[in-house]
Amino acid sequence: MRVAFVGKGGAGKSAIAGVVARLLARRGEDVLAVDSDPLPGLSVSLGLGVVEAVIPAAAVEEKAEGEPGPRFRLRRGLTASGALDRYALPAPDGVRFLQFGKTRASGVPLMRSQWAFRQILDGLPPEHPTVIGDLPGGTRQPFFGWAGYADTVVVVVPPTSAGILSARRLAKLASTEDATAAPSRIVAVASQVRDGSDLERVRQRTGLDVVGSVPWDGHVLAAEREGRSVLDVALESPAVAALVALTDRLAAHRPTAALAHRQGGAS
């Protein structure tokens, strides 16, 4: 399963993605959590705090002039899986964590590190490992460039007008990509929900299959402010219970056959 969490800024993508990644790992899956947002988020909800490490620029090499495709490729002898072994950081519950170059770096080294990130994701063998991706807020990051790995796009939707509008735009973007890159499923998770009418609003106004509903829960906010994972500070909280249910649902309905079909068709 390869999931990309998208949605408006502040929707709760990072809070949800980090916990889902760890819960999948607790079920025995080999999980790679990837953050393509230049601002930190996922590392905190995974329980790693703020992480500055990025993939070193030397992971890629520049292609010779005239060679087709992007300017950089993984350095000779380095496979995507080998790069993961070298550069992914260990996170709690056995999750591995990889992040896009952060805003503090700049120029060519940052660009090289970002290309490495992308080429690692594009080069992973199908199905293994499970990938949980946290994308930056909104629609600015052309997301199939950065989430072409995803078989499942989860749109995180707070019950606000802007959150719902953003969700509709993102779902449309996801479904109108060309057939080889489009994810096999696009679903929604209602986030920061205060009551049943919030959930109903998300359901009706997005028209998406809402596979989970995470309540507004002060434990999530408090954990984030401490730089910790809610799983480590409030295991019994309502938000964690909702995220356990969401993880079960995502895992039970993984689009394995569809993915195999898509990748077979694309090769």
Ligand X SMILES: Nc1ncnc2c1ncn2[C@@H]1O[C@H](COP(=O)(O)OP(=O)(O)OP(=O)(O)O)[C@@H](O)[C@H]1O
Choice from 31, 46, 220, 259 touching ligand X (CB under 6 A): 220
Choice from 2, 12, 152, 202 touching ligand X (CB under 6 A): 12
Sole window of 25-33, 77-85, 139-147, 209-217 interacting with ligand X (rule: CB under 6 A): 209-217
Closest to Mg ion by CB, 41 vs 101, is 41
The strands making up 210-215's β-sheet, listed across from edge to edge, are 89-90, 96-99, 31-35, 130-134, 2-7, 152-157, 185-193, 210-215
Q: Which segments of 50-188 does DSSP mark as H helices, in order?
A: 80-87, 107-123, 143-147, 161-175
- Interface positions, 187-206, toward ligand X (CB under 6 A): 191-192
Which residue matches tokens 């039970």?
Answer: 252
DSSP state of 92: G
Sole window of 4-12, 124-132, 144-152, 176-184 interacting with ligand X (rule: CB under 6 A): 4-12
Q: What are phi and psi of 155, to 5 degrees?
A: -90, 120
Asked if 57 contacts 108 with a C-beta cutoff of 8 angstroms, the reply is: yes
Should residue 38 be labelled a site residue for ligand X when binding is judged by CB under 6 A? no
* Cα within 13 Å of Cα(216), Cβ side: 11
Q: Which does 29 bind (CB under 5 to 8 A by kind): Mg ion, ligand X, none?
A: none
Choice from 18, 40, 41, 47 touching Mg ion (CB under 5 A): 41
| Chain residues that interact with ligand X, rule: CB under 6 A | 7, 9-15, 37, 41, 137, 191-192, 214, 216-217, 220-221, 224, 239
